[in-house]
A and B are shown apart, each in its own frame.
Chain A
């Protein structure tokens, strides 16, 4: 898919060279009708995000002083730029903390960024990344409402996914248990049924399970990544990211495409996850998990926060329990339907049942048998064989087809129901 491009004259870039080629293949007829009033300023901000070390605080101070991003660039490209940039006063004398929001290193970074400006713009376009600034109406309103919203959002996929009427963050540890992954999938499926967007962080474990279940259930999901779009990680989730975009979701970052994720970028990223959502649900979090940072951001931003409690001795849930004990505003998840009700998303629950029934009707006899054994909690092939009394070959063939249709999943010889089957209630089997 070709990137959506703004016309070169708006950018001040001549339409020759590789860019002209892109233009030729992707004409932009909408430009003639509605000239984009934010384009020039958007490009200036995009260029400034590439300045290493320039955070929301410093950027806010610069904007207060110089009013527009274009003006900042002019100063940075003008005479004696370092000195002039460093003279920027803090926005709030007390709250700003630092005496000078722009240090010499950051000032130099701004000058450097201004110098390579066109390259940054080209890079963003080449990756097919859409840029949203906080000034624009397309910028998600929820996120704009938080303290220190990112000035610029880099988005692939549909930006509308960021502004759905209902949005819930589903987060948790990277080292999830398979029970945790299943819970994440069930919560996500239920949220899709309630027409909510699922926000998460594209990490291994809970995040991945939540995204995956949403995509499978045909919902929209937003992945907020900890680095720039060019360093999308983890590597194993590049396919997932593509699936998210293909399903009408979005992958979002506040960092310029070539910024690599680092220790500091993830906690900062977490405020966007909670900020994009009405509520944050933590599925599993061991002590000192990053998911708890997201949860505290949610509380700080005045959003709802739900945590799935775990057993007293479950290390993967220790963080959830201590968070619940510490913060009175945090809620307990008492079952998936209850969660949906607590979120105020309660809808007729028949919708979910109808989906399951529709799915099971299309299954063959042996597949249905294996599916119900899976739902009843048979994990290994041995257990499935014993439960269904079918030959091994038949069970494996049926499992293949269930897996193919997204109704079963699993690795390392242990399998579980997935997708619509998650909503099925295990029936006690006469033995």
Chain B
């Protein structure tokens, strides 16, 4: 007998609605899956077989064929397990459908338990779009599935419970002695893979813990207020990473649209079950050994990379000069367009990648150039220059704010004023961002060309100063735009509607060491 069960798979960041067709026919016992199923889907045969038997049903000793439609779409992952098992139960008439259409999403364990999946949110959204009003998911994934409005979510813990739902008898919980196992099925990555860059709640640092470094604190505040690219340079141990760890506490909460987008990415990349919309901007700090595919996304299943995981948030690259050149160059497109296009043989996919780049590096290979005691740096001037040049020109141009973090003397630390905490600074950042979005529709870091010039409203004196300062920054023709963008943000932080000369003067400060050195000669 033929049974058709709706389900879905994950394709990149999108859910794709799938019809699972099961035909249980007379013939030699066998179990075949057709319809471009990858290895994880083929392995479902063993999970489904075990789950059916251990849930107290019988695997039909007949010729069982599963077709996954649309057949031309490549299916990956384990989201179809539950639908296949129910299909077999329906096809072998062990369960009779006593309810309306219901979609099923879940990975099965051999004991019959239903497990949550990465990508529940986009998959449920795809089912809703198909017009199916009810969906069965694993208990742990229920909160995530309920983020989709138009769908009635039914949580089940086991295959038997799911069968009850299909029968139309709801909710008598069938107690099953289910072993507490850690969830690590093929394709289902729950929890953080080693070396990945998400920051945990407890690792967010308050800005008050960073002593001294006035220049860097100010630079960070401007960068976050305007979503400007930021580079911190300094010897090891001056607190570059510590400062970066304050960022999650300084960013304002995300709006609805951004929160949905971030939640979908978090869901699809398997960051664990989501219980409510993610309002905190992502902060990703991948290690410098990561591969090209891990940065931009890709792989056989077109998995989103770090640039997409940092969408609407901050991508922090510690030890910038240690990253592979290819990996850094790959950042140029997303930095410009806010999205990344991945093309693989026969398939292309666009992922969102609107992130703010924050990077840190040492001034030279040994890290001690320009720091005390003199002569601690053992690098030759040529080595220092080459190290600096590892950050290519185009990437440099996209870093609006460069700050140096010198080693601070203990005496200076004691004498310094009590530093501001995150809450105070975060409020200023949020205000400046509100002004920018209200008046210009976007953050200043994304202003270009005429929109930028319109936004700056320079007085005569300020315009002269702008020309003067831009000429000093001889490194790049983009210098002027960079200067105006940063000055606009400084003016916003100061609550000034026009960009004044002293805003420009401060903005001119945040340029690269290289252009600082060459400006020395030009003047």
Contact = CB atoms under 8 A, between A and B. Distances in A.
A346 interface: no
Interface string B501-523: 01001101100010011111111
Contact of A397 (B506, B518, B520): B506
Contacts of A380: 212, 215, 406, 408, 412
Given A179-B374, A397-B502, A212 B520 contact: yes
Given A315-B375, A382-B214, A393 B490 contact: yes
A114 B304 CA distance: 66
A386 B412 contact: yes
A53 interface: no
Nearest to B371: A412
Interface string B62-82: 000000000000000000000
B522 to A, nearest CB: 7
Interface in A387-425: 392-401, 403-406, 409, 411-414
A96 interface: no
A392 B406 contact: no
Nearest to B381: A204
Interface string A58-85: 0000000000000000000000000000
Nearest to B417: A386
A412 B506 contact: no
A175 B494 CA distance: 42
Categorize the interface residue count of chain A.
35 or more
Given A382-B213, A393-B218, A403 B468 contact: no
Contact of B505 (A234, A379, A401): A401
A11 interface: no
A392 B428 CA distance: 15
Interface stretch (A12-20, A34-42, A187-195, A235-243): A235-243
Nearest to A203: B381
B375 A382 contact: no
Contacts of A411: 363, 370, 404, 513, 516-517
B158 interface: no
A178 interface: yes
A413 B343 CA distance: 43
Interface string B416-443: 1100000000000000000000000000
Interface string B490-501: 100010000000
Contacts of A315: 375
A5 B490 CA distance: 53
A393 B221 CA distance: 11
B233 A412 contact: yes
B405 interface: yes
A212 B521 CA distance: 7
B267 to A, nearest CB: 41
A397 B385 contact: no
A239 B518 contact: yes
Contact of A382 (B234, B412, B490): B412
B182 to A, nearest CB: 47
A382 B468 contact: no
Contacts of A216: 523
Contact of B375 (A240, A316, A400): A316
A177 interface: yes
A324 to B, nearest CB: 20
Interface in B371-407: 371, 374-375, 380-382, 385, 403-406
A382 B381 CA distance: 27
A234 B381 contact: yes
Main secondary structure of the interface of B (DSSP, over half): helix
A239 B506 contact: no
Contacts of A396: 215, 218, 505-506, 509
Interface residues of B, number: 47
B268 interface: no
B330 interface: no
A177 to B, nearest CB: 4
B93 to A, nearest CB: 76
A158 to B, nearest CB: 19
B86 to A, nearest CB: 64
A381 B233 contact: no
Given A205-B381, A392-B214, A399-B509, A386 B416 contact: yes
Given A396-B509, A403-B516, A413 B215 contact: yes
A239 B521 contact: yes
Interface in B128-146: none
A368 interface: no
Contacts of B517: 236, 411
B215 A400 contact: no
B341 interface: no
A367 B259 CA distance: 45
Contact of A404 (B234, B417, B472): B472
B177 interface: no
Contacts of B213: 382
Contact of B215 (A243, A392, A403): A392
B181 interface: no
Given A401-B505, A406-B523, A412 B382 contact: no
Interface string A224-245: 0000000000111001100100
Interface in B175-223: 212-215, 217-218
Given A383-B412, A400-B508, A236 B214 contact: no
B44 interface: no
Given A204-B381, A234-B381, A382-B214, A413 B405 contact: yes
A403 B385 CA distance: 21
Scoring B469, B502, B520 by chain A CB atoms within 10 A of each residue's CB, the highest score goes to B520
A411 B513 CA distance: 6
B363 A412 contact: yes
A385 interface: yes
B28 interface: no
Given A404-B472, A413-B233, 9 more contacts: A205-B381, A212-B520, A212-B521, A239-B521, A380-B215, A381-B214, A393-B502, A394-B506, A396-B218
Interface of A: 174-175, 177-179, 204-205, 212, 215-216, 234-236, 239-240, 243, 315-316, 379-383, 385-386, 392-401, 403-406, 409, 411-414
6 pairs of A and B residues whose beta carbons are closest in the complex: A412-B370, A413-B404, A413-B406, A397-B505, A177-B374, A381-B215
16 contacts: A175-B381, A216-B523, A235-B385, A236-B385, A239-B521, A239-B522, A315-B375, A382-B212, A383-B412, A393-B502, A397-B509, A398-B505, A411-B517, A412-B233, A413-B370, A413-B404
